[in-house]
Amino acid sequence: MSGTLVLVRHGQSDWNLKNLFTGWKDPDLTELGIQEANTGGKALADYGIKFDVAFTSDLKRAQDTLTIILDNVGQTDLKTFRDQALNERDYGDLSGLNKDDARAKWGEEQVHIWRRSYDVPPPGGESLRDTGARVWPYYLTEILPRVLRGEKVLVAAHGNSLRSLVMVLDRLTKEQILALNLATGVPMVYKLNADSTVASKEVLGDMSGAH
């Protein structure tokens, strides 16, 4: 058995609360988002894990979630890498639009396709496949080698940048990934085998309310 990889989606952001497409825009966490990050951090503290390194995106909501989690596990000085490779999927021209207004304008089905299909990008933005095309190489070169060396690695990122990773780790099909939503602030703990396949996965919290 090699190391441990923990993935966590940032807590609720101000734009999540306002139901706006966010992508590469950079809103803060809400009070609830701060609470969710604390809950995720406490779950990891109870789990008893001590991390060797952490990774996050170039966006505040993920960085602040990471800071709160590290506070909870007593590791505020942990070595951390920030990279835009882990940023949320770029929502292009949809960024800043209200999701319900978009449904009223383009229809429920089209908006669902933009949000959850594998390879249909929103206008001017990235599909999940495009997102994976930058997340996956970063994972392979920067994150996975550390896990395979036996390190415990924390990644605080975003709904879709993490979905693109989970799709490969959990061996999900394009149809299965469509139905997968990640809850905010809920850590997923993966133990990897030496051949980088998944030995076990534990979810420290409730994913059922995710949408």
Ligand X SMILES: O=C(O)[C@H](O)COP(=O)(O)O
The number of residues that bind ligand X (CB under 6 A) is: 9
Which among 45-53, 78-86, 153-161, 194-202 is the span making contact with ligand X, rule CB under 6 A? 153-161
Q: Give CA–CA dist 192/165, Å, rounded.
A: 14
Residue placing its CB nearer to ligand X in the complex, 64 or 88: 88
Query: Any contact of residue 30 with ligand X (CB under 6 A)?
Result: no
CB of 156 to ligand X, least distance (A): 13
- Cα angle 101-62-53, degrees, rounded to a multiple of 5: 155
Minimum CB distance to ligand X, residue 159 (Å)? 4
H/E stretch holding 5: strand 4-9
Rounded CA gap, 106 and 10, in Å? 28
Q: List the one residue from 36, 64, 88, 126 that touches ligand X (CB under 6 A).
A: 88
Contacts of 7 (CB under 8 A, 6+ apart): 155, 157, 162, 165, 166, 187, 188, 190
Q: Is 88 a catalytic residue?
A: yes
Rg (CA), the chain: 16
Q: Minimum Å distance from CB 160 to ligand X?
A: 5
Residues designated catalytic: 10, 88
Please state the residue numbers annotated as binding site.
9-16, 22-23, 61, 88-91, 99, 115-116, 159-160
Site residues for ligand X per CB under 6 A: 21-23, 88, 91, 115, 158-160
